[in-house]
Every structure is written in C-alpha cells, then in structure tokens.
Amino acid sequence: MPLVRIDVVEGRTDDEVRRLADTVQAVMVEHFAAPGRDRYQVIHEHRPGRIIALDTGLGFERTDDVVIVQVTQQGRTVDQKRALYAALAERLERDCGIAPTDVVVSVVENTTADWSFGLGRAQFLDGDL
C-alpha cells in the first residue's frame, strides 16, 4: 500500500499530469507489488524556482521538467526498490518525455501501525486489511 507524492513544476497540461500519474501507478503495480486498486497519489505543482534539485555531484543538468517521486511504503526489498528506480526512469522518459536525469525518487519506510485509511482506525492492526 504505497502512498506516492509527485512534485513537479507548474506548466504541464491536465493530460500531461494525468499521464505522469498513470505511468507512476503502472510502475508501482508492475515493479513494486502494489495492488492495482491501491492508488494513493498526491500531486503538487510548484511555481518555477520552488523545486531545487541539484545533481549531488553526479554531473546532471536538471530542467524544469524535474519530477520528484516520494514513495511511503512498507516491506519492499532492495531489488524491488532498484526495479522501481529503473522502471520509473525508463517509463517516464518513454511515456512522458521526461529525461531520466530529471527523475528523482525517494522511498520512505514505515510499518503497519503507521496507516489509517479512515474512520479513525488502524485497519492493518485491526485485521481489516
């Protein structure tokens, strides 16, 4: 049950934003063991200059097409994480025209105790999920 935050610079059309979100979801299902109907995405659009993503000494030249994807999840392996990174870079380039150097991904770990899907309950802990 990943929660995905996608941060982009303003300027994409609604269709482009939807294609980006759909592509991320497809990768989550195909490479990160996310059930198909577990789609929790929050998309934030920022004014130009409000995302600062330098290259960490790797020599990348980032553009205003930069996409930062943060995935909060539990229980994925290192291999699944590597597959996620590679598939996001490949698919976002192919399906959305975003250069792989403009794709930044962070995976945040949590536990079953860290989720409530509504009603003020901890569904994983209570045995509902």
* 100 counts as catalytic: no
Residue with tokens 């996001």: 88
Q: Biggest alpha carbon distance in the chain?
A: 48
What are the DSSP calls for 1-36, one per residue?
--EEEEEEES---HHHHHHHHHHHHHHHHHHS---T
* In contact, 105 and 71? CB cutoff 8 Å: yes
Alpha carbons within 13 A on the beta-carbon side of 17: 16
**Active-site residue numbers?**
2
